[in-house]
Amino acid sequence: MRGDALINNIQSLIATFADIHATDKQGWSTERTEKLRALSEHIRYTETVIKSLHPDIGTKVEQWRTSSDNEGSSIPRVVSYILGGVGAIIGDKYDEFLFSKAEDLRRIQGYVFEEISE
């Protein structure tokens, strides 16, 4: 049961992160801004749930969310940048970063599958 909840939350995290990337590509609107805020909050909430289900994996998720690349970009920074200005659309500027973070998240998902299969 706990393993199922962990998998469901990791998959929710992956879907939410993909939704942030897709939403960034949309034209600016109040609805887009509200959606990005809600998605960002959902990532933090899901991280908390994962920590309660499996502290080690929760720590990996926290590090994934907060760690910066060599240019100082992190998920909170990129989302803040997207939300920061009226009409701020980052387009392709952070695509490589976001794709890299998506790959990191898939690795964490693989780790989850390994953990629950033991």
Cα–Cα distances (Å) from 104 to 30, 67, 100, in that order, read: 30, 11, 6
Query: pLDDT of the chain along its 118 residues, tens only?
Result: 688 999 999 999 999 999 988 887 777 778 888 898 899 999 999 999 999 999 999 999 999 999 988 888 888 888 877 776 544 455 566 778 888 999 999 999 999 999 888 7
Residue 25 neighbours by CB under 8 Å, 6+ apart: 89, 91
pTM: 0.84
pLDDT of amino acid 60: 97
Domain that holds residue 76: 2-117
Burial of 90 (0-12, 13-18, 19+ CB in 10 A): middle
When divided into structural domains, the chain yields a total of 1
Structure tokens at 35: 């959606």
